[in-house]
Amino acid sequence: MSQNLTIALSKGRIFEETLPLLAAAGIEPAENPESSRKLIIATNHEHIRLVIVRATDVPTYVQYGAADFGIAGKDVLIEHGGEGLYQPLDLQIAACKMMVAVRQGFDYAAASRAGNRLRVATKYPNIAAAHFAKKGVHVDIIKLYGSMELAPLVGLSDAIVDLVSTGGTLKANGLQAVEHIEDISSRLVVNKAALKTKHALLEPIIQAFASAI
Ligand SMILES: Nc1ncnc2c1ncn2[C@@H]1O[C@H](COP(=O)(O)OP(=O)(O)OP(=O)(O)O)[C@@H](O)[C@H]1O
Ligand SMILES: O=P(O)(O)OC[C@H]1O[C@H](OP(=O)(O)OP(=O)(O)O)[C@H](O)[C@@H]1O
């Protein structure tokens, strides 16, 4: 019986950087998801399809086996927890840093001193909580879903925990990075059960990705 493979990918920066890796494994999407509203995209292989999901949902689709493998940022994977996922490769794409940032001129050293309470807005509550717990700083975490840079500007929070790449977004909004939490890049994530049951199909793809990094 022939087996099928489903690959979970998100649109945007990860997809752009994933195309050359897929090509190295001989996989070509039949259409570009950026210009299509389709959520299931066929490929040049009848038994391989792509499913297009939110970046934050990739680990969930792979964990439950709705997708056999996918590509997700380390930020998303740490937040998710990684249950049910085998993470064989750091693909070194979508590189950025998880940072703490505050308004320029804000006295972060004083505000984050032991005994104080810091209000932190972020899309990454688990990463933020673990970071400040390690430092022994008490925090109130405010969960946001985007545009974190706004929060300190309008008094929603003292600090943010967010991704920084060029630093352009922080600069444009009068913020500065004050602490590095984690280097982030995207990883290949494989469903642990599929790795066994579809090993013959998955292994050459993982090898092709590894050689193309
Ligand atoms: N500025 C950046 N530079 C480089 N990589 C980034 C940057 N911002 C995010 N990333 C990485 O790319 C991944 C996908 O980001 P993308 O912006 O496509 O989705 P998102 O809008 O964060 O996710 P969602 O749609 O689920 O909210 C992130 O999880 C992170 O690992
Ligand atoms: O340092 P820079 O190069 O300016 O990049 C940093 C920005 O990139 C990410 O946002 P993204 O562009 O993904 O927007 P969104 O997550 O709010 O959709 C991140 O949340 C920052 O806002």
**Which residue pairs, CB below 8 angstroms and at least 24 apart, start in 127-130?**
127/75, 127/78, 127/79, 127/98, 127/161, 127/181, 127/182, 128/161
Q: Are residues 126 and 176 in the same domain?
A: yes
> Contact, 187 vs 92, CB < 8 A?
no
Q: How many Å separate Cα 28 from the centre of its chain?
A: 23
Residues 123 and 43 in one domain: no
In the block, which residue shows the tokens 């940072």?
Answer: 99
Question: Are 86 and 100 within one domain?
Answer: no
Which of 54, 165, 183 has most ligand 2 atoms within 8 Å of its beta carbon, as the pocket-test mutant?
Answer: 165
The reported pLDDT for the residue numbered 189 is 98
Proximal ligand: closest to the CA of 172: 2
Q: What is the pLDDT of residue 207?
A: 97
Say if residue 31 is in the same domain as residue 107: no
What distance in angstroms lies between residue 162's CA and the mean position of ligand 2's atoms? Answer: 8
Q: Is 98 in the pocket of ligand 1 (CB under 6 A)?
A: no
**Do residue 208 and residue 170 come from a single domain?**
no
What is the domain extent for residue 31?
Answer: 5-94+185-212
Ligand 1 atom closest to the CA of 185, numbered from 1: 31
Structure tokens at 158: 């003292």
CATH number of the domain that residue 68 is part of: 3.40.190.10
Return per-residue pLDDT of the chain as tens, 213 residues: 589 999 999 999 999 999 999 999 999 999 998 889 999 999 999 999 999 999 999 999 999 999 999 999 999 999 999 999 999 999 999 999 999 999 999 999 999 987 889 999 999 999 999 999 999 999 999 999 999 999 999 999 999 999 999 999 999 999 999 999 999 999 999 999 999 999 999 999 999 999 999
Task: Please state the domain count of the chain.
Answer: 2
CA–centroid distance, 99 to ligand 2, in Å, is 12
Residues 88 and 106 in one domain: no
| 136 and 149 share one domain | yes
Same domain, yes or no: 102 and 161: yes
Co-location of 109 and 160 in the same domain: yes
- What pLDDT is attached to residue 1? 56
Domain match, 169 and 105 both = yes
The verdict on 190 and 165 lying in the same domain is no
